[in-house]
Structures are given as structure tokens and as C-alpha cells.
Chains A and B, each alone.
Chain A
Amino acid sequence: GQQVMQIPQYQHVQEGEDFTTYCNSSTTLSNIQWYKQRPGGHPVFLIQLVKSGEVKKQKRLTFQFGEAKKNSSLHITATQTTDVGTYFCAGKTGGGSNYKLTFGKGTLLTVNP
């Protein structure tokens, strides 16, 4: 079945440093989504990427979708303590009414103030 690998599993940074998490799928994706889960909270949708090579920005967050639509990355510039949490990528394969997502294992980001 489809697998979505995500690295690193953990990342600890000093506040102000940059952070990147990478996601790689075993199959071509129709789209990829990113979620953030704060400690003790539930996953919250951040963004969706659909097009090959797509790049989207949300303030200090930059999301990329690979040309082959099999990998993606999330980069945070100048981390802040509010960025703490686990970042999950989730891939969707196929089209039509298939709404199922396969989640990566997540990257836990901790930020030292």
C-alpha cells in the first residue's frame, strides 16, 4: 500500500533558527496536505498543494511540492516558540471521490527560547 515517509522524526532548534521537514511518498500523489498538531491538541490543516512544482507561502512557512508529485517539504524561517508542535504531511492518491489521506509519521519540532 501507499507509504508516506517523513524526516526527521524530531528537530530541536534555537529560537530564530530555520527548520525543514521532508515528506516522501512511495507513489505519485494527486495532492499533499500539511497539518500542525500542538502538544495536547488535534491536527489542524495548514495548506494543500496540488500542482507539480507548486510553492506556497504562509508568512514564515514555505511549502513545496516536488516536480514528480512524490515529495514535499515545509520550511519555517526564523522559528518562534509558537511554532512548537508536530508537523504532519498527508498524501492523497487518485482522483474522484477518494478522500482518504495517508499521513506521515510527523516531525516533532521543539524550540528553545
Chain B
Amino acid sequence: SAVISQKPSRDICQRGTSLTIQCQVDSQVTMMFWYRQQPGQSLTLIATANQGSEATYESGFVIDKFPISRPNLTFSTLTVSNMSPEDSSIYLCSVVPSGGTHQAVEQYFGPGTRLTVT
């Protein structure tokens, strides 16, 4: 498994501003993902954070709104840009540890960042 930390754990932001969320892992990992989870809802994949290259975004999510960086194998950031109240959600990073097979793809989640946009 992997130990994952996220910063900040929560924040309240004004509309129109941007927030950068950090995800730090205690070991090198193969894959890192960013999800959004609205209260009481399921997890929606925003993008796959690729080390050294542009993130791969899911349908409905774009780089201008959710720029992602992954400078190395243990760290990634997600920025929520030009926020509106609809962006209020929990943002989670997850990782697939290195060393697994293509079949062993269990994901380990960070504690999440609870974002409220007013």
C-alpha cells in the first residue's frame, strides 16, 4: 500500500479564485488520478496525472479549468480554476502503487480536500 497526504484538507474560497491541491505519496507510484466526489455521490474521475507529460482528461473536464502537474513519481497538484459554487466538492487523489501487475490495479486514496466555493 501507499501513504498519501493531501493539502489542504479543506478550504472555503470565493468564486472567481483558484485553489491548488497537493497530493504527496510516500513512495514512487505507477499511476496517479484525481477524482471529484460531491456529497453523498460516487467518484468521478477528472484526469490521470502523467509524470513528465500532460494529464489525460476525462470527458467533461478540461485542462484550462483543472490544470494538473506531476513533476515526479510521488507528487501531483490539481488546480481548480476560476471557481464557481458548482465546483464545491471533495477532491481526492488516488494512486496505483508500483510493482503490481496489470491485473493488480487497486487504488489507494488520499484523505481528500473538501472545497466550498461561496
| Contacts from A to B (Cβ < 8 Å) | 1, 30-31, 33, 41-45, 48, 50, 88, 90, 92, 95-97, 99-101, 103-106, 108
CB pair A105–B42 under 8 Å, yes or no, is yes
CB pair A103–B43 under 8 Å, yes or no, is yes
Interface centre among B30, B41, B43, B96 (most CB of A within 10 A): B43
Residue in chain A with minimal CB distance to B105:
A99
Residue in chain B with minimal CB distance to A42:
B109
Contacts of A44 in B (CB 8 A): 109
CB pair A92–B43 under 8 Å, yes or no, is no
* B76 touches A (CB below 8 Å): no
CB pair B102–A48 under 8 Å, yes or no, is no
The 8 closest A-B pairs by CB, nearest first: A42-B109, A45-B106, A105-B42, A103-B43, A99-B105, A99-B31, A103-B42, A43-B109
Contacts of B67 in A (CB 8 A): none
A100–B33 Cα distance when bound, in Å, is 9
Give 15 new A-B contacts, CB below 8 A, not counting A101-B105, A103-B44.
A33-B107, A43-B107, A45-B106, A45-B107, A45-B108, A48-B103, A48-B106, A50-B103, A88-B42, A96-B102, A99-B96, A99-B105, A101-B45, A104-B42, A105-B42
CB pair B112–A42 under 8 Å, yes or no, is yes
CB pair B111–A31 under 8 Å, yes or no, is no
Interface residues of B in 79-100 (CB under 8 A from A): 92, 94, 96
A/B interface sample: 9 pairs, CB < 8 A:
A31-B105, A43-B43, A43-B94, A44-B109, A90-B107, A99-B96, A100-B33, A103-B42, A106-B42
Contacts of B42 in A (CB 8 A): 88, 103-106
CB pair B112–A101 under 8 Å, yes or no, is no
* B48 touches A (CB below 8 Å): yes
